[in-house]
Structure 1
Amino acid sequence: MKAAIRRAVAWHPALMTVAAVMVLCAVVSAVGLLVDPRTVLGAPLWAKPLKFSVSILLYAVTWAWLIAHLPRWRRLAHRLGTVIAVSLVVEQALILWAAAAGTTSHFNVSSPLHVVVWGVMAVSITVLYLCTFVTSVALFFLRLPTPALTVAVRLGAMIALGGIGVAFLMTGSTPTQLTSPDGIVGAHAVGVADGGPGVPVLGWSTTGGDYRVAHFVGMHALQLIPLVALALTVLARRVTRLRSDTTQVRIVVIVALAYACGTVLLTLQAVAGQSVVHPSGAVAAVAGAVLLVAAAAVVLTLLRRPAPVLRMT
């Protein structure tokens, strides 16, 4: 067990340290949910720090592992990983500070102090995005144990960049904020005020659009799509038609394309001010079409004559 921990820490000490800190933050936030009844914008005060702790934990571990396996640009990626680690710590520290103070962290410009805090958070997330962009490009030199996993990581990283980028759509002033300034610039929700009825735990608006849906779904493509590749590797032991590397790669590409379409659709749904739990007929139809086409493409791929082993370059 100790040897496994040492190997994991060696992937990228700074990012793995952040992961360990996020475990502690998650525990503190969970305790806060139990003992602190305060709310902010209608949501439990410690729910946001808890969600960010888990998300940052996944992000840090994933990139620590990927950077450690890069055949090229590893030194640059390692340095950028350290910058990412610092940015993540700054972001989470300010979120925890705001929770302890009983106020909002994002979009808050109600006082000079909050202007500085929000400015620092905005800079840190921008730096994180730029560093992630470069390290994502480096993944195109990465070769993992199977071609499907290699392709899954590359496509997942590209989709994740789009998902993270959705966050920048939240930073503009809403029409209400332009006409009646209230110390808040930006919002998660579209068409309704932040803090209304939301999905349990996640808090996504059930009465209007919410950019956080596409942000969350897209950002974690880097974890979910590789899981599809790993699942195919396991299933290949039982399903003969999945033993071809080419077949597995094709299925991963289909899943990734469907996932990307879903992320774009969720973004457009939010822009239209439409809740994710109450899709319009048009949105439901497009979503159904994407799923149907993807399912048909997977079936056709499986019915094809098994292709030869694919050699990655």
Structure 2
Amino acid sequence: MTDLFQRYPALSWHRPLMLLAVAMALLVVWSIAGMVIDDRTLTGLPIWAKSAKFALSVLIYAVTWAWLIAQLPRWRRTAWWAGTIAAFGLALELVVIVTQVVRGTTSHFNFTTPLNAVLWETMGSSIVVVWIATLIVSAVLFVNPTADRARTAAIRYGAVLALAGAALGILMVRETPEQRAAGGSISGAHTVGLPDGGPGLPILGWSTVGGDLRIPHFIGMHALQVLPLVLLAIELASRRIPVLRSAETRRRLLMIAAATYGALLAVLTWQALRGQSVVHPDAATLLALGAIAVAATSATVTALRPKPVVMDRVPVGNAR
């Protein structure tokens, strides 16, 4: 094991999270093989699609946070323990998901039997623990700014939006009016206005006929990857575009990107809660998206506009 960590230094960023990432990479491969070999379906999708999606998401989460924790000069031990707790919580969540896949039933919102209820409640509790652990690491990041203000902004805004996106999962565990009236053994749903399992996007399964809370949940959770990638693109572009070489300009553009991302997250949540499919937006949704696009474009143009050069004024009496 020591030789493995020496051969691959990245595994030492945060060992529990990086080992989780390796396990998730293997699970992604296993799940893809399962989708090819196992012809069972669940809620309209290949039964192994769920473990593949969750494993890939956890893989991205684990690598991102492991790298960020490794950069911390202060409060690193606190962040390390929080990251370790998150790793164990996420591992437990995936164990439940895979167990239910093997058993041929759903993992979320499932109270059909005492065992299914215990597994779902265990997974739900682990998700809460992971969120709290992520909040702690995010707080540590806030007290450890980087030398580059734009990079600091990318990490901070990304962490806040990721926490908000993860918290949107709470909206899915509420019992729907239809479930309350029927008195069934399923409590909670991804889809708004319709039962889960209807027509959806390939692989992702996001509803194409109703609102789907998984969309803002997913978009929000991965803000911590998207915003740093946006900044990386700006930094690469600065090699050819002189105006982007200003650290302050890059910071302003990152702030615009974060505000735009947050506004988009709000609109997607609003759209889902109204029971509207993401592929069939109404006039109000299109108007909101258009307003976001106009505001983002205007702010970007302003941020890129060259600043006027102010010349020192020479008193008339001293002119020669």
Q: Which range is displaced more, 67-76 or 115-124?
A: 67-76
Does the alignment pair 1:157 with 2:159?
yes
Unmatched segments (≥5 aa) in structure 1:
308-313
- After superposition, give the CA deviation of every residue in 1:130-189 in whole Å (9 maximum; x if it has no partner): 111111111112334632122101100000001000101100101111011221110000
Q: Which range is displaced more, 260-269 or 174-183?
A: 174-183
- After superposition, give the CA deviation of every residue in 1:189-222 in whole Å (9 maximum; x if it has no partner): 0001100000111111111111000000000000
Find the counterpart in structure 1 of residue 62 from structure 2: 60
Does the alignment pair 1:9 with 2:11?
yes
Find the counterpart in structure 2 of residue 297 from structure 1: 299
Q: Which range is displaced more, 74-83 or 146-155?
A: 146-155
Cα deviation, residue 262, structure 1? 0.5
Q: Does the 8 A contact of 1:241 with 1:306 survive in 2?
A: no
Cα deviation, residue 278, structure 1? 0.7
Q: Does the 8 A contact of 1:109 with 1:184 survive in 2?
A: yes
- After superposition, give the CA deviation of every residue in 1:232-279 in whole Å (9 maximum; x if it has no partner): 111111100000000000000000000001001111111111111111
- Residue 200 of structure 2 aligns to a residue whose secondary structure is coil
Structure-2 separation of matches of 1:37 and 1:257: 43
Find the counterpart in structure 1 of residue 90 from structure 2: 88
Q: Which range is displaced more, 54-63 or 141-150?
A: 141-150
Structure-1 separation of matches of 2:146 and 2:291: 32
Q: How does 1:173-212 map to 2 (within 5 A)?
A: 173-212=175-214
Structure 1 ranges of 4+ moved more than 4 A: 2-5
Which amino acid in 1 is paired with 2:33? V
Give the TM-score normalised by structure 1: 0.95
Q: Does the 8 A contact of 1:208 with 1:274 survive in 2?
A: yes
Which amino acid in 1 is paired with 2:282? S
Structure-2 separation of matches of 1:31 and 1:146: 43
Q: In 2 relative to 1, CA 5–254 (structure 1 residues): closer, same or farther, beyond 3 Å?
A: farther
Give the TM-score normalised by structure 2: 0.93
Find the counterpart in structure 2 of residue 311 from structure 1: none
Identity across matched positions, percent: 46
Q: How does 1:187-266 map to 2 (within 5 A)?
A: 187-266=189-268
Q: How does 1:33-182 map to 2 (within 5 A)?
A: 33-144=35-146, 146-182=148-184
Task: Give the superposed CA RMSD.
Answer: 1.5
Which amino acid in 2 is paired with 1:101? R
Q: In 2 relative to 1, CA 148–306 (structure 1 residues): closer, same or farther, beyond 3 Å?
A: farther
Q: How does 1:273-284 map to 2 (within 5 A)?
A: 273-284=275-286
Cα deviation, residue 120, structure 1? 0.3
Q: Does the 8 A contact of 2:190 with 2:213 survive in 1?
A: yes
Q: Does the 8 A contact of 1:71 with 1:141 survive in 2?
A: no
Which amino acid in 1 is paired with 2:26? L
Does the alignment pair 1:26 with 2:31?
no
Structure-2 separation of matches of 1:5 and 1:187: 44
- Residue 27 of structure 1 aligns to a residue whose secondary structure is helix
Which amino acid in 2 is paired with 1:118? W
Structure-1 separation of matches of 2:74 and 2:185: 46
Structure number with larger C-alpha Rg: 2
Q: Does the 8 A contact of 1:30 with 1:50 survive in 2?
A: yes
Q: Does the 8 A contact of 1:244 with 1:306 survive in 2?
A: no
Cα deviation, residue 291, structure 1? 1.2
Q: Does the 8 A contact of 2:5 with 2:11 survive in 1?
A: no
Structure-1 separation of matches of 2:7 and 2:232: 22
Q: In 2 relative to 1, CA 208–306 (structure 1 residues): closer, same or farther, beyond 3 Å?
A: farther
Count of paired positions? 306
Q: In 2 relative to 1, CA 191–114 (structure 1 residues): closer, same or farther, beyond 3 Å?
A: same
Q: Does the 8 A contact of 1:70 with 1:141 survive in 2?
A: no
Structure-2 separation of matches of 1:4 and 1:277: 48
Find the counterpart in structure 1 of residue 316 from structure 2: none
